[in-house]
């Protein structure tokens, strides 16, 4: 049952033990399969209690062939058009929660539960669209809050673009908005320099209108095959993890402070929209350009054509530069794919 992913509980062990006892004509009065017997049985057979594992994305069976095909496709593009590093970009969304409590706190031995202060808004989230270029530049964040209308009398900080959407997701209209307000205003865009933009196969990234809009601005779109963002997307490989770590740091500092507004029931109010935007900007500014440059080399997007930089693909990552594989909502990019976008990439490669 465990090999097939089924959940094993005390009750299932008790029921199975009682079933075996009945087959051997052992009366229930002599063998009750009590909770204590189950615990001793687990101890004798080395069966510890496991915590539920997070849902990490698995690589497809033929991922090595797809990775090689992707790299060959990138090299063929660079042979035709030698894009400068400042015009090679990558963009992706990530979910940011309004409450980010620590999952592994330090506590004294003894109590079975640990009291932690939190606003109780772990399910309240917003979407942040991040974008980087191969020369180490970071484009302004694009934040999407789950609202139907823009908040009134709210002064958002400079250096960030704020939008609202009913579900808090990046849809087609917001993707077009991001291209016009962020990507088309990057350094060099005004000169109409040819550019290369690497995107995952999220639905709103690969629609026909988005491809045509990018093409009008001399930007060639490259779609990462579905299920391979953890190894081919620079933001996922090196950038999102330290970005989320900085967000957790600012949230923990805010929780430990005594300046909190309370709800009528006495609970701590969730961080304001302005404060969330400020945390996003500060966390984004703390990402050093070296990590951004290394992320493109690590994924093989900005490697030299002569193969002199291929060793970067196999260098061991720093702990703070590895992708956050335990996040279940790193974006629905791997869950919502577009077959047409994948076919275009495979056909060209």
Query: Is residue 284 scored above 80 in pLDDT?
Result: yes
Q: From residue 118, give the alpha-carbon distance in Å to each of 247, 266, 334.
A: 15, 12, 30
Question: Long-range contacts: 5-12, Cβ < 8 Å, 24+?
Answer: 10/35, 10/38
* C-alpha 195 chain-centroid distance: 25
Query: Is residue 49 scored above 60 in pLDDT?
Result: yes
User: How is the beta sheet containing 125-133 ordered, strand by strand?
Assistant: 161-165, 142-146, 125-133, 88-97, 195-199, 219-223
Pair 202, 93: CB distance under 8 Å: yes
Burial 197-231 (b: 16+ CB within 10 A, else e): bbbbbbbbbbbeebbebbeebebbbbbbbbbbbbb
Query: According to the model, what pLDDT value does residue 328 have?
Result: 37
Query: Is residue 348 scored above 70 in pLDDT?
Result: no
Pair 333, 201: CB distance under 8 Å: yes
Domains and CATH numbers, the chain: 1-52 (no CATH), 64-100+121-348 (3.30.420.10)
pTM over 0.75: no
**Which three-class secondary structure state does DSSP give residue 61?**
coil
Give the least confident one: 283-292, 297-306, 313-322: 313-322
- Alpha carbons 132 and 292: distance in angstroms, whole number: 7
Q: What is the pLDDT of residues 71-128, one digit of tens each?
A: 999 999 999 988 999 999 999 999 998 887 655 555 556 555 555 555 566 678 899 9
Torsion sign, CA atoms 104, 107, 113, 119: negative
Q: What is the pLDDT of residues 149-161, one digit of tens each?
A: 998 888 899 999 9
Query: Rounded mean pLDDT of 184-210?
Result: 91
Query: Is residue 269 scored above 90 in pLDDT?
Result: no
Query: Rounded mean pLDDT of 229-239?
Result: 93
């Amino acid at each position: 049952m465990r090999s097939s992913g089924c959940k094993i509980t005390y009750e299932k062990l008790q029921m199975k033990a009682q079933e075996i006892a009945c087959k051997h004509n052992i009366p229930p009065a002599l063998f009750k399969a009590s909770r204590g017997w189950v615990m001793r049985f687990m101890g004798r057979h080395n069966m510890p209690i496991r915590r539920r594992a997070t849902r990490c994305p698995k690589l497809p069976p033929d991922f090595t062939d797809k990775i090689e095909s992707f790299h060959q496709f990138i090299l063929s593009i660079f042979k035709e058009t030698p894009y400068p590093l400042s015009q090679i970009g990558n963009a992706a969304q990530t979910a940011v929660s309004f409450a980010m409590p620590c999952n592994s706190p330090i506590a004294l031995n003894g109590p079975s539960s640990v009291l932690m202060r939190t606003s109780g808004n772990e399910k309240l989230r917003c979407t942040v669209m991040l974008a980087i270029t191969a020369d180490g530049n970071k484009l302004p964040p694009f934040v999407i809050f789950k609202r139907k209308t823009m908040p009134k009398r709210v002064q958002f900080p400079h250096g960030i673009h704020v939008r609202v959407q009913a579900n808090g997701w990046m849809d087609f209209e917001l993707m077009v908005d991001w291209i016009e307000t962020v990507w088309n205003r990057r350094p060099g865009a005004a000169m109409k320099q040819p550019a290369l933009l690497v995107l995952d196969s999220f639905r709103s990234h690969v629609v026909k209108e988005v491809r045509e809009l990018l093409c009008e601005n001399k930007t060639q779109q490259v779609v990462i095959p579905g299920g391979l963002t953890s190894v081919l997307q620079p933001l996922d490989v090196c950038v999102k993890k330290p970005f989320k770590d900085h967000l957790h740091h600012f949230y923990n500092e805010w929780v430990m402070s005594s300046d909190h507004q309370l709800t009528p029931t006495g609970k701590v109010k969730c961080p304001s929209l302005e404060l969330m935007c400020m945390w996003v900007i500060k966390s984004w500014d703390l990402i050093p350009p070296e990590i951004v440059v290394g992320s493109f080399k690590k994924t093989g997007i900005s490697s030299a054509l002569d193969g002199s930089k291929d060793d970067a693909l196999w260098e061991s990552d720093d702990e703070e530069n590895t992708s956050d594989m335990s996040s279940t909502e790193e974006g629905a990019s791997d869950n919502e794919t577009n077959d047409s976008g994948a076919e275009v990439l495979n056909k060209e490669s």
